[in-house]
A and B are shown apart, each in its own frame.
Chain A
C-alpha cells in the first residue's frame, strides 16, 4: 500500500509526460513552431537510448571496479582508480567529442563515449564510499559466522552499500540526461537537436521544446530511480 501510493503519482506524471510528447504536434497551431525535421517522440527515444547505454556501461564498469579496489587484492589500485575517475570527469564532454570524432566517426559512438566517461566517477566513488562505510564489526561477525568472502560481499557488504551506491547512479543518470544534449553537435540526435538549431536560427521555440523536455525527463528519471531504491531496500531506509 505504501509503495502503491509512492508509485501512483510518478506513474500518472510519466503518463502525462509521454502523452504530451506524442500528441503535441496535434495541438492546433503548435505544429508551426515545433522543430520540423525530427518528431519529438523520436528525439526523446534517441535521447533515452544515449542515456541508457552510457549509464548502463558506467554502472557495469564503475561498480565492479569499485568492488575490486576495496578487496584486499585490489587495494593497491584504489588511488589510481580514483584519479582516473576524477580525470575522466574533469575533461569536458565537448572536448571528448572533439577528440573522439576523428577516431570513431560522427554520431552515436563518440557521444556515448563522452557520456560514459563523464558519469563513471560518481558511480565509482560512491561504490567505494558505500563499501568502505560498512562497519568492520559487521564484517567480522560475518566472517566469524562462516561466510566466504563472496558471501560477505553479496549478503552483507553490497546490501549495506546499496543506498550510497544508488545515490551515485541516480546522480550520474540525472547529469547524463542534461549532458546528452551535447550529442546533437556531432549528429547523435536526441533532445539537443532543437536546442542547437534554435541557437543557430535564433528560434526560442525550438530551444524551449528541447530544454523543457530534457528538464522534465531528468526530474522524472531521478524520481523513478529513487522509488526503485526505496522498494528494493525495505530495511535500509532507516539506517543511520
Chain B
C-alpha cells in the first residue's frame, strides 16, 4: 500500500505538486492522468525518491520512504519508462537481469528468473535472449521494459507513460497483455499516462490531476458517469459511454454461441431442428470447434438443401478475440456491418458470440 500525505513539491518558484493526498491499496492499479504539467510524473517519481518532496511524507506499507538508502528502496520498486530506457549495451537477458544482479542473486537463480519472465511476456528466450535493444521493435522493447521491472518480483510497480512511444495498435496489444499479467500478479501499480482510453482500460482507480492537485479519485465507471466538476467532464469528453466500453473484455460479455459441425453427416438434421426452434443463423465449425463460417437458416433454398445458406468467413477478419475490449468489438461490428460477432481464442476455436444488443445493455447499465 502506498500513501502520500500532504505532499508538496516546489521547483524553483513553481509548485508542481500541491499538498497532495493519495492512497493506493495493495494490488490495485492506480492511474494518474491529467494535462501536461499537472504534476503526475513528479508525483510518481517522489514515490521511489527520484525526486524528494519539499514537504509531506510518503509511506510504503506503513514505512516512511525517506528511511534507509534510496538505492535499496528503488530495488524493491519496479520502474518502467518509455522503451528507450533499456540499456543499449546489454542483451535482452542482461537488461532483465539488472536488478537481480544488483541484489546479488546467484547465477542460476538469475538465469531461471530471466527465462521465466521472457515466457511471461511471450518472447522466446532462445530467439530474443541474446538480442540487443536496437534489434527490437518498439513493442518488444517495451515488453522487456516491463519484464525488467518485474525481475526481482517487487510488490510495487511505477510506470511512467510506459506505452507512450508505441504506435496505437501496438499500444492496445501491450495494454491487453499488461492487464492479463497484472490480473495474474496483482502488483500495486501507479501508472502515469495522458491517454484517457488507456487509463479507462487499465485502471482500478483513476486520479485526475490538475495544477498539482487531485480533482477526482475514483473507479473509472464513476468518473465516466458522474464527473466531479466541469474540468473532469471536459477532460473525459463527450464520448463517455463509448469510453466505458473499453472497460469490458469480449470474454466478459459474450454469450454461448450456437454452432454446428459441418463435417458430420448429420449436419442437415441439426440445421432443420434449429430452424424449427426459430433460429435465424448458426456458426459453422469443424469437429474441433474451429470456426469456419456461418449458415443462414432463413435462406430461400433452405428447404431444398439446408446447407445452401453456408458462407465461409475469414475468421480473423470477422471474429474478435477473448481479450479484445468491447470498444474494439463495436468498431468491428460497425466496420463489417454485422450485428453479431463470433468470439474465438488465439487458435480460432469458437468461444461464444456478442450481439449489438449485448453491447447496448453494457453501455446503458
List A residues at the B interface (Cβ < 8 Å). 135, 137-138, 140-148, 151, 156, 159-160, 233, 235-236, 238-240
Contact = CB atoms under 8 A, between A and B. Distances in A.
Interface string B51-71: 000000000000000000011
A137 B90 contact: no
Nearest to B45: A144
A69 B328 CA distance: 54
A166 B98 CA distance: 25
Given A141-B79, A240-B134, A146 B73 contact: yes
15 contacts: A137-B81, A137-B84, A138-B86, A141-B86, A144-B50, A145-B74, A145-B75, A145-B102, A146-B74, A146-B102, A156-B89, A235-B89, A236-B89, A238-B132, A238-B134
A146 B75 contact: yes
Interface string B311-329: 0000000000000000000
B182 interface: no
A236 B134 CA distance: 10
Interface residues of B, number: 28
Interface in B95-131: 98-99, 102
B102 A141 contact: no
Contact of A235 (B75, B91, B102, B148): B91
Interface centre among A144, A156, A240 (most CB of B within 10 A): A144
Contacts of A233: 89
Contacts of A159: 89
Contacts, number: 67
Contacts of B90: 235
Contacts of A138: 84-88
B48 interface: yes
A113 B76 CA distance: 51
Contact of A148 (B50, B71, B76, B98): B71
B81 A147 contact: no
Contacts of B149: 145
Contact of B71 (A147, A236, A239): A147
Nearest to A141: B85
B65 to A, nearest CB: 13
A146 B72 contact: yes
Which of B70, B81, B88, B102 is most buried by chain A, counting CB atoms within 10 A of its CB? B88
Contact of A145 (B79, B88, B89, B132): B79
B82 interface: yes
Nearest to B75: A146
B220 to A, nearest CB: 27
Contact of B88 (A140, A148, A239): A239
Given A138-B85, A235-B88, 17 more contacts: A135-B84, A138-B84, A138-B87, A142-B87, A143-B50, A143-B74, A144-B74, A144-B79, A145-B74, A145-B75, A145-B102, A146-B71, A146-B102, A156-B87, A233-B89, A238-B132, A238-B134
